[in-house]
Structure 1
Amino acid sequence: MRILVTGGAGFIGSHYVRTLLGGGYPGCEDARVTVLDKLTYAGNPANLDAVAGRFRFVRGDICDAGLLADLLPGHDAVLNFAAETHVDRSIAGAAEFVSSNVTGVQVLLDACLAAGVPRVVHVSTDEVYGSIAAGSWAEDAPLDPNSPYSAAKAGGDLLALAYARTHGLNVSVTRCCNNYGPHQYPEKVVPLFVTNLLDGRPVPLYGDGLNVRGWIHVDDHCRGVQLVLERGERGRVYHIDGGTELSNRELTAAILTACGASWDMVVPVTDRKGHDRRYSLDDSLLRSMGYAPRVPFAEGLKATVEWYADHRDWWAPLNRPAPPARPGS
């Protein structure tokens, strides 16, 4: 089986590749893998060092139709992890998000059609639904995105579903809650807070800290994606959830504890524009197919903190957001 993984040098895509080539998905031990990655600031070839020499790497953009036309023929499946993903960056400038998350998806889907790729999985996010006050979204919930990032992801999702219905492309869409784990670029809250605290720097807490998110270890997310690749249906959406909902204050407390730090390291900052209050996914469909998260949050967070503590050489050179000023400083 030949598998093309777009965004395969990023946080989630590289975890999928390492697990696949490490024999983590039974029946796929002999898979031949092509990684396509643009290597933006969040893409890092070092994320794939553990499986170096066992895959083909192509540096390129999913918006490059000519490249895809040359690359895709002969592949049995495409997993699209490629995306611009950071909400704050999308608020500052949306153009790259529309390019990657909408136009890039359209170009990739067209190329999959032309090459006759038998199976495609498009990886998305719970943020496309907007905010939910109570209960959890099912896969047929209406989309109501509030940030440029989530709006662009919603556009890519709708294109994928339209290609399934219009062209018969065998594409499924996965939507997942917030991921954490090793190799995550330290602009997202978990690695940002952990690396700041390891450096003795304060961490920023948006607003009142009561915004709620679901959390999943990246390994559980990738296992869900693999299950959808193997057993998902054309034109269907599948939720992947980790079974842990936390407010940002609760998450901050957990990170402080894991890092041996106290609340005096937390600096309140002005809330993000359009900050959704709560996300929550109903993943009963995927659970009915045999999925269940395996990594308890406390254990996964502890292991994640240990990974960053042991891999300073990986994250120290990266351009992290500036730490907030402490009160009175």
Structure 2
Amino acid sequence: MKGNPALGADLAAFSGITTFMRQPASRKLDNVDVAIVGVPFDGGTTSFRGGSRFGPRKIREMSVIQWGYNQAMRVAPLDQLRVVDYGDVDVELTNIQKNIKSIAAEVSCILKAGPKIIALGGDHSISYPLLRAHARKYGPLAVVHFDAHSDCSRESVDHGTPFRQAIDDGLIDVEAYVQVGIRGPRAIPNAIELAEEMGAKVLTIDRCFEIGIPKVVRTIRAAMGSRRVYVSLDIDAVDPAYAPATGTPEVGGFTAYQMLQMVRGLRGLNLVGFDLVEVCPPYDNPGEITSVLAANLAFEFLSLLAIGVEAGT
């Protein structure tokens, strides 16, 4: 679906209204392939600093420089897909239990209408209700989880526990759950072991650099197979030199290009949903490089879905 001139689709990047890639802001979902959905909730942030509730708005703002053609993947997603910017789900800033229910319910309604969803967070707690909604439609999901943290080690409900909650609820197919980029100091010494005991295949950052990005991609693909795949990308998987604006930054992560390589490596998988979380614009530098990277990654997600349509998957 081409951009709407009323939104400034044919204007320079500094003009017009900043919906995601200038696509129509609409909740009419008939014949829509992809809905961009903001989830501006950061009330689950407990480890360090909040601000990711401003992420969806800033990512949309930076998306206007995604000109439309993905040179690396050789696809123009807006030529292949009907895309709308659904806007943001309604959340309450501090009521995480209520938000889990309301996010899952609203996202379930969107999925029932037909589109696939690219969700923009928000802290990582939103992945739990998003997985709830997707599992309601598709059953237990294979999951690719890019992150500095395993998000499995505590029993509380917050941004450090969504995957433990999802596993406990049977939302994740633990035969096909891969964590990529785990690193940094921990409050407990056995966080990685706990994730592995729950069924996760953990690729620490050291292991990723040891085997190299191409083999990381092959490992992910082998684990996913033909299963329905949900992708959750915490921007803190990227080194803070490239993505400083995140709630719990950890040094020694992926470069921006390495993250692009891994996302592009998901091409051809049976992809059913995405979230991109933990972008905290108040902590970005003047160049807004974290939000620019996040917008690019969302564009890569969209490109993956377009390639799936081209391939008939």
TM range, smaller chain: 0.3 to 0.5
TM-score normalised per structure 1: 0.34
* Bigger relative contact order (CA 8 A; separation at least 6): 2
